[in-house]
């Protein structure tokens, strides 16, 4: 796939095997449609967030916030300020063990800027 199925803009770069990484564009620069591999990444992130919530026995409010934030990170919609606030809040609410593993999950889907904020606020370095 080298063109957007929506507007037929060229997809920047070449991504054989549709590998999701920080270098992979998430949305079509032409029309803003999320690319299919991004939709998969979002679905995977949501599933992981749900499992993390269960493992760490998070209450419903914390779980809802985590899912909402995960979705925003997955679509590159989170700002670093939002990530910092979420990180501090989650660490306080769920404790360092849960914050460490949730942070690791979020870092995999986050942009490098957001990943650095998550590392600092949730994983303590």
- Residues at the interface with Zn ion (CB under 5 A): 4, 6-7, 9, 28, 30-31, 33
Separation of alpha carbons 5 and 9, rounded Å: 8
Give ∠ CA 113-117-119 in degrees, rounded to 5.
115
- Please report, to the nearest 10 degrees, the dihedral formed by the alpha carbons of residues 60, 64, 69, 71 taken in order: 130
Shortest Cβ 45–Zn ion spacing (Å): 22
CB-CB contact of 9 with 29 (8 Å): yes
Shortest Cβ 41–Zn ion spacing (Å): 18
Nearer to Zn ion by Cβ, of 33 and 88: the residue is 33
The single residue listed with the structure tokens 């650095």 is 116
Nearer to Zn ion by Cβ, of 77 and 124: the residue is 77
Shortest Cβ 46–Zn ion spacing (Å): 23
Nearer to Zn ion by Cβ, of 27 and 72: the residue is 27
């Amino acid at each position: 796939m080298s063109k957007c199925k929506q507007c037929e803009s060229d997809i920047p770069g070449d991504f054989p095997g549709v590998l999701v990484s920080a270098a992979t564009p998430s949305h079509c620069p032409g029309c803003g449609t999320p690319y299919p591999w991004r939709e998969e990444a979002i679905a995977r992130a949501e599933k992981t967030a749900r499992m993390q919530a269960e493992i760490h026995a998070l209450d419903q409010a914390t779980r809802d916030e985590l899912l909402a934030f995960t979705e925003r990170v997955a679509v590159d919609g989170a700002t670093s300020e939002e990530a910092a606030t979420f990180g501090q809040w989650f660490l306080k609410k769920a404790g360092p063990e849960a914050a460490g593993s949730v942070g690791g999950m979020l870092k995999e889907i986050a942009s490098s800027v957001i990943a650095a904020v998550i590392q600092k606020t949730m994983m303590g370095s």
